[in-house]
Amino acid sequence: MGEADERPDRADAPGQESAPRTFRLVLEYDGRGFEGWQAQAGARAARTVQGVLGEALASIGCPAAKIQAAGRTDAGVHAEGQVVSVVLARALEPKSLLRALNARLPGDVAVLEACEVPPGWHATDAARAKLYRYRIWNGAVRSPLRAARFAFIPEPLDLEAMRAAAPAFVGTHDFSALRAAGSSARTSVRTLRSIALTGASGGEIALDVHGEGFLRHMVRNLAGTLVEVGRGRFAPADAARILASRDRGQAGPTAPAHGLTLVRVWDGFGD
């Protein structure tokens, strides 16, 4: 996969400035200022996490041949533990790379960890599972201090009903009912390992979705659907019917992006 694979002998040789090296980075970012991880086709001028990281790498003399992420987060979606692979033209101490990048990156994105990985390692392919958290502020009044990271739903939600509905989505299913319109994935079959709902009606609520793969908008559509259960518009038993329908029109609306955070990626490092 990629040019690093084609010359492993040179990549292993120390001091070879021209040998490409692959690094694994863990990123945290506040999604509000970004048009997502990468620009959609035809939107090249957008500010993206991939673009900002590429500029920072170029500014420290390490233009990256490839920058790939485990989860291609959408506009407004945050990350506490996004994993990225970058192929750089030269060898570099991971600690120096981390420090240099954090000095150049803007305040809304930071590199939490950096290590060198074998040539050909690719963050997207290496991701075996991911944890997304959807945060809801269920207070009666909007919360200025939570506005950046929580979706605001003032109507008291029935958490027990939401918890009763959630298991229908766990396991391997065709998630067409929760798939964004225009999504280009080859198949809609994905596997969710668990869905956990914590917090309390009237307060902070967190929906943790642990899965092996996700369709575009899948977590936000799942959150929107469970919120409709919490509001009483859907019964818990409707969840299985909605999923089986494979019809996006049967599920709830797409919950807002700013409530969603990519919390963690499982890719064999520090699992």
Binding region for its own copies (CB under 8 A): 28-30, 78, 80, 98, 102, 107-112, 141-145, 147-149, 261
Closest distance of CB 92 from its own copies, Å: 17
Closest distance of CB 105 from its own copies, Å: 9
**Alpha-carbon gap, residue 18 to 94, rounded angstroms:** 17
Closest distance of CB 48 from its own copies, Å: 15
Closest distance of CB 36 from its own copies, Å: 15
Catalytic positions, written as ranges: 74
**Alpha-carbon gap, residue 100 to 128, rounded angstroms:** 29
Query: 205: which 2 tokens?
Result: 């609520």
Residue 244, classed as helix, strand or coil, is helix
Q: What is the CA radius of gyration of the chain?
A: 20
Residue 92, classed as helix, strand or coil, is coil
178 and 224 Cβ atoms separated by less than 8 Å: no
CB nearer to its own copies: give 102 or 191: 102
Residue 31, classed as helix, strand or coil, is helix
How far are the Cα atoms of 49, 154, 237 from residue 151, in angstroms, in the given order? 22, 10, 25
CB nearer to its own copies: give 29 or 266: 29
Q: Which residues pair with 39 in a beta bridge?
A: none
CB nearer to its own copies: give 3 or 108: 108
In sequence order, which residues have a C-beta less than 8 Å from that of residue 55 and are 6 or more positions away? none
CB nearer to its own copies: give 138 or 261: 261
